[in-house]
Amino acid sequence: MVEPAPYAIDLEELVGRTAVAAPGDYRALAVATTWLAQHSELVNVRRLARVGGQLEELPAAILGAMIDIAREASPTADRLKSAQRHCRPLQEPRALFDRTEANPVLLRFAREGAMPTFEAWGLWQDELSLKFDALRPVSWILEHCPELRVRAIYGAGLEAEVVQALQRGPATIAAIAREVDASYSATHAAVTRLAGRGSVVPLDGQGVELSEPVERWIDGYPTVARRLRTRIER
């Protein structure tokens, strides 16, 4: 119901912030969980796990429940399971939403009718309606969100992170590893795979850069995407 953000979105951080805001916003929780189910292939699981590790107890439990509900709704979302490694159920169960927690009648209904998925995370809530009709199709997302296009081609993992880092200019493997918060060996392996496919090329000195065809593709993506979408809609 609002205009798209004019700046790049950190998807995994946004999911974490949604988990923080969820006790006061049913719709935000429902739509974000639906997005995870529908578009899980665009989610960087390693980064989402890191975000989860920075959350406090309540939002961490909520994130764990969001991932489980997304997995129940879509088999492809099963890849998100490893992002739950820092999520733990609440030691003291409570209602998921603040409004419910503050109302004795609503609290009793939520506790007695709690969905097993929520209850497993120490949360009481008797329903959550996913909002698939509120989502944009993946074609729209990739046209309007440059930060996710590379993931659509290279997968939502370390290889895409390397390509995105190199969009800002040539860099050494050590510098890339620091930027994406990965080990040197894992980053080196990702760069080697990308080089084998012609996506990155070594510099005369130290470091690597994006190959010219990949740079042209990234720069030209919006025009091509709009043209293809127009053709499909006709």
**Secondary structure E strands in the chain:** 94-95, 123-124, 200-202, 208-210
Q: What is the pLDDT of residue 144?
A: 80
| Overall number of domains in the chain | 2
Report the SS3 class of residue 189. Answer: helix
In angstroms and rounded to an integer, the radius of gyration of the C-alpha atoms of the chain is 20
**Domain membership flag for residue 6:** no
Q: Summarize pLDDT for 166-193 with one digit per residue, the tens.
A: 998 999 999 999 999 999 999 999 999 9
| Whether residue 162 sits in one domain with residue 192 | yes
Structural domain range at position 71 = 11-133
| Whether residue 174 sits in one domain with residue 205 | yes
Contact predicate 61/123, CB 8 Å: yes
133, 163, 198 - which closes a domain: 133
110, 133, 156 - which closes a domain: 133
| Whether residue 34 sits in one domain with residue 106 | yes
CATH of the domain at 190: 1.10.10.10
**Domain membership flag for residue 1:** no
Q: Summarize pLDDT for 73-87 with one digit per residue, the tens.
A: 999 999 999 999 999
| Whether residue 126 sits in one domain with residue 199 | no
Q: Summarize pLDDT for 2-20 with one digit per residue, the tens.
A: 777 777 789 999 999 999 9
- Global pTM reads 0.86
